[in-house]
Amino acid sequence: MSEVRVRIAPSPTGPLHLGTARTALFNFLFARHTGGTFIFRLEDTDQARSTEAYELDILEGLHWLGIRWDEGPGIGDEPERGSYGPYRQMQRLERYEEAATRLLAQDQAYYCYCTPGELEAERRRQEAARETVRYSGRCAHLTPAERGAFEAEGRRPVVRFRIPPNRTIAFDDIVRGHVEIDTAALGGDLVILRSDGTPLYHFTVAVDDAAMAISHVIRGEDHLSNTPKHILLFEAMGAPIPQFAHLPLILNPDRTKMSKRKSQTAVADYRAQGFIPEAFVNYLALLGWSTGTEEEVLSQAELIERFDLSTVNSAGAVFDRERLVWLNGQWIRRLSPDDLMDRLRPFLQADLDAGRIDWLPSDEEIRALLYVVQERLPTLAAVGDLIRFLFVKNLDPDVAAMVPKRWDAATTAAALSAARRTIADVGRVCWEADEIEPPLRSLVEDRRWQAGDLFMAIRVAVTGRTASPPLFDTMVALGYERTLARLDRAIEKLEAQAAAAP
Ligand code: GLU
Ligand code: ZN
């Protein structure tokens, strides 16, 4: 095992976000590529917003994507695994307290007695004077007597970490290169423990990354400005400073930041729409990274082999749904028939539950259709559109969709009647696509029709749709009797329409 130890540290305050999934994936790929250790840590100190349902959604979503970790909760049946635990921050509270006590003892931190009202007044004054908003440091050097007086008033202090006012924090980010941030921009001394003793994000992250011997912090670019605070905390705790890699933001096509409100960001929604994990992982890997070649369709094993943190792009990564859909189709084509059937079943069940089909296709029925759908499915959920017509008792085809531009209802009815006779004759002998097509083409030639006109009319008559899998295969799948019955029903409707129109 190498010394590489990386982590994903989600907060269970929302469903698994695709940005979090991308961060998890890059950590996972880096760990697997380097032979390092990948850790899952739950940042659950925001008790008001954390829920068990979100926690489950995150664990399940990452499992679905095939992302596995070596330490943390959610491995097999164990509550958690690993020798750096616990891996839930709410179970690590005394560690933060200990670390804070040490910083207080070394005078790297101090008690601040300012009330929210006082801090608010300070902020307003700074804003009015157009100064940078920052904690002034009023409590940075209280005498024991001053502290005693505040305590006597019943004030409960927070703990603040001293941020040196005039220092430049520099680090070499693996993705972004050399970064320098002035400590004057950090907002003044940092609250690390609230007055009730609960720790804040910057503190827990630094304490845990140090305690868990994290070697590389790989996370979203939105955390870039937090990094100097963490570096100062590592220094104060005498902990080695990990390397940093800040991943580019994921952007909407209009280059605005992807947000829950404006964009589809929950991984579970993509899953529900029939994206498959092989494709989703492949797509996430390409959000900010590429192999440097034309290759786009990459398995998890190939990604692990090629992944290189130093070739991650620093420019924002635009989320291109069409490319995701394309990759999904590519991956669906690579599935074995049995595997694809297993994955389609829940989507067909959903069609049944929603009343879009009248019965659930049997395994044999699905298997017979796989060769027509597998090549055409953009997503698993699209299976209904392709084969629904087979599993409904009655179809009510739209007359307008059936009548080609060059024809009217009467012509179409006559043409379908002729086609019906041909189909009935040939089908009585042999019901196969190769057998049905030639006589219909001869019919088209004899009558000097356009093949497209007749075939579109038949297609709508038997499937109810203007686009379907190949027509003759479709008819074979539907069966001889049902095909004829649907043609009869269509002819009836067309004749009624022709009779009604003068
Ligand atoms: N809980 C933080 C997040 O999900 C972790 C950030 C970090 O990786 O340090 O954004
Ligand atoms: Zn204060």
Q: What is the pLDDT of residues 354-372, one digit of tens each?
A: 999 999 999 998 998 888 8
Distances (CA, A) of 160 to 164, 214, 317: 12, 24, 37
Residue 133 lies in a domain: yes
**In terms of domains, do 450 and 405 share one?**
yes
Whole-angstrom distance, CA of residue 420 vs CA of residue 251: 54
pTM value is: 0.91
Residue closest to 220 by CA, chosen among 74, 485, 430, 23: 23
Whole-angstrom distance, CA of residue 26 vs CA of residue 172: 19
Report whether pLDDT(2) > 70: no
**In terms of domains, do 110 and 204 share one?**
yes
Name every residue whose Cβ is closer than 8 Å to that of residue 274 and which is 6 or more positions away in sequence.
Answer: 328, 347, 377, 379, 380, 381, 382, 383
Residue 329 lies in a domain: no
Whole-angstrom distance, CA of residue 254 vs CA of residue 257: 9
Residue 64 lies in a domain: yes
Residue 326 lies in a domain: no
Written as six digits, the tokens of 369 are: 């259709």
- Catalytic pick from 229, 257, 260, 405? 260
**In terms of domains, do 50 and 143 share one?**
no
What number does the ligand 1 atom closest to the CA of 226 have? 9
**In terms of domains, do 364 and 258 share one?**
no
Could you give the percent of the chain with pLDDT greater than 70?
A: 99
What number does the ligand 1 atom closest to the CA of 8 have? 8
Nearest ligand for residue 122 CA: 2
Residue 324 lies in a domain: no
* Last residue within a domain, chosen from 224, 247, 270: 247
Instruction: Kindly give the distance from the C-alpha atom of residue 95 to the centroid of ligand 1, in angstroms, as a whole number.
Output: 19
**pLDDT value of residue 263:** 86
**In terms of domains, do 96 and 81 share one?**
no
- For the stretch 400-455, pLDDT in tens is 999 999 999 999 999 999 999 999 999 999 999 999 999 999 999 999 999 999 99
Q: How many domains does the chain have?
A: 4
* Last residue within a domain, chosen from 368, 390, 412: 390
Instruction: Kindly give the distance from the C-alpha atom of residue 440 to the centroid of ligand 1, in angstroms, as a whole number.
Output: 64
Confidence of residue 153 (pLDDT cuts 50, 70, 90): very high
**Once rounded to an integer, what is the mean pLDDT over residues 55-74?**
97
- Measured on CA atoms in the order 109, 113, 115, 119, is the torsion positive or negative? negative
Alpha helices by DSSP H, listed for 354-479, are: 363-373, 383-387, 399-402, 409-429, 433-447, 451-463, 471-478
Whole-angstrom distance, CA of residue 205 vs CA of residue 9: 9
**pLDDT value of residue 468:** 79
**pLDDT value of residue 502:** 62
**Once rounded to an integer, what is the mean pLDDT over residues 312-329?**
96
Instruction: Kindly give the distance from the C-alpha atom of residue 122 to the centroid of ligand 1, in angstroms, as a whole number.
Output: 29
Alpha helices by DSSP H, listed for 181-333, are: 201-211, 227-237, 267-272, 277-285, 300-306, 321-333
Residue identifier of the C-alpha nearest atom 5 of ligand 1: 9
Strand partners of residue 88? 42
**In terms of domains, do 110 and 242 share one?**
yes
**Once rounded to an integer, what is the mean pLDDT over residues 338-350?**
96
Instruction: Kindly give the distance from the C-alpha atom of residue 118 to the centroid of ligand 2, in angstroms, as a whole number.
Output: 9
> Of 54, 217, 223, which is best to mutate to test ligand 1, by the most ligand atoms within 8 angstroms of its C-beta?
223
- For the stretch 182-215, pLDDT in tens is 999 999 999 999 999 999 999 999 999 999 999 9
Residue identifier of the C-alpha nearest atom 6 of ligand 1: 9
Beta carbons of 252 and 319 less than 8 angstroms apart: yes
Q: Please confirm, yes or no, whether 260 is among the known catalytic residues.
A: yes
H/E run at residue 112: strand 109-112
- CA 281 to chain CA centroid, Å, is 9
Residue 199 lies in a domain: yes
The boundaries of the domain holding residue 364 are 336-390
Tell me how far apart the 2 most distant CA atoms of the chain are, in Å.
109
- Our answer on whether the CB atom of 227 is closer than 6 Å to any ligand 1 atom is no
Residue 328 lies in a domain: no
